[in-house]
Structure 1
Amino acid sequence: MADLAGKVVVVTAAAQGIGKASALAFAKAGAVVHATDINETLLAELAKTPGIKARKLDVLNDEAVN
């Protein structure tokens, strides 16, 4: 992956699976990653990774997104 230093990436459904793998890859490439998911427990673990900031967010909830 290209050098993403200085870039910001938002990853939804980031607590597990493809979302988690994407968040980790972006962080490894130097991006600041804002990871969101509805699973706070798994997000807390992911947030221990340098470069990843995690926040609970239900993208199906219009009020939470706006």
Structure 2
Amino acid sequence: MKILEGKTAIITGASRGIGKGIAQVFAAHGCNVAFTFSSSEGPAKEL
């Protein structure tokens, strides 16, 4: 998706579930991703 290339996304709750999937897809398509998490620090570090 070239529409995401060079764009920046802020995703809340991105350490698991739907938020994680969105963060991974956006990053794979060239989007700069900033994300937050509340309690799943381990999975957040893996991203």
TM-score range, shorter chain: 0.7 to 0.9
Task: Say how many residue pairs are matched.
Answer: 45
Identity %: 40
Find the aligned partners of 1:28 and 1:41 in 2 and give their Cα distance. 21
Query: Deviation of residue 36 (structure 1)?
Result: 1.0
Q: Which has the higher contact order (CA 8 A, sep 6+)?
A: 2
TM-score normalised by structure 2 residue count: 0.84
Q: Alpha-carbon deviations, 1:8-62, whole Å to 9, x = none?
A: 001101000100000001001100000110122211111xxxxxxxxxxxxxxxx
Q: How does 1:1-66 map to 2 (within 5 A)?
A: 2-3=1-2, 4-38=4-38, 39-46=40-47
- What's the Cα RMSD here? 0.9
Indicate the structure (1 or 2) with the bigger Cα radius of gyration: 1
Query: Deviation of residue 6 (structure 1)?
Result: 1.1
Q: Which is helix-richer, 1 or 2? A: 2
Find the aligned partners of 2:16 and 2:41 in 1 and give their Cα distance. 11
